[in-house]
Amino acid sequence: DTEVTQTPKHLVMGMTNKKSLKCEQHMGHRAMYWYKQKAKKPPELMFVYSYEKLSINESVPSRFSPECPNSSLLNLHLHALQPEDSALYLCASSHGGVEGETQYFGPGTRLLVL
């Protein structure tokens, strides 16, 4: 089973709202990722967690706050977003033991900021 699940599928929020995106995997993977994808563009890496510790932050604004409560869960907390943050947010996971290893992606959460 190579399934990564993400909830919700769609999210509409105002600029003053606080919301969270959730990602879950049960493959025993120890690396988890958040990507952002704008329309007609490739995914761009935001964060990487390795063994529940943040290992890469690609200079993402602080209005995006990641959290990895355990090895199966990854959250992305959203606060005071801007309309330009509207995008498809993708979660991925990989084994976490070796560089350059296969990442498995979830279906994404489509976010609209009004």
Which residues contact another protein (rule: CB under 8 A)? Answer: 2, 4, 31, 33, 37, 42-45, 48, 50, 55-56, 88, 90, 92, 94, 96, 99-108, 110
For residues 33 and 103, the answer to whether their CB atoms sit within 8 Å is yes
Residue with smaller CB distance to another protein, 17 or 103? 103
Cα distance between residue 91 and residue 17, in whole Å: 22
Residue 65's Cβ-count burial label (10 Å; 0-12, 13-18, 19+) is middle
Least distance in angstroms from the C-beta of 22 to another protein: 15
Residue with smaller CB distance to another protein, 84 or 99? 99
Residue with smaller CB distance to another protein, 31 or 78? 31
Least distance in angstroms from the C-beta of 46 to another protein: 11
Residue with smaller CB distance to another protein, 50 or 75? 50
Least distance in angstroms from the C-beta of 80 to another protein: 26
Least distance in angstroms from the C-beta of 60 to another protein: 14
Output the CA–CA distances (angstroms, integers) from residue 25 to 12, 30, 99, in the order listed: 24, 10, 19
Backbone dihedral angles phi then psi of residue 81, each to the nearest 5 degrees? -75, 165
Cα distance between residue 98 and residue 103, in whole Å: 11
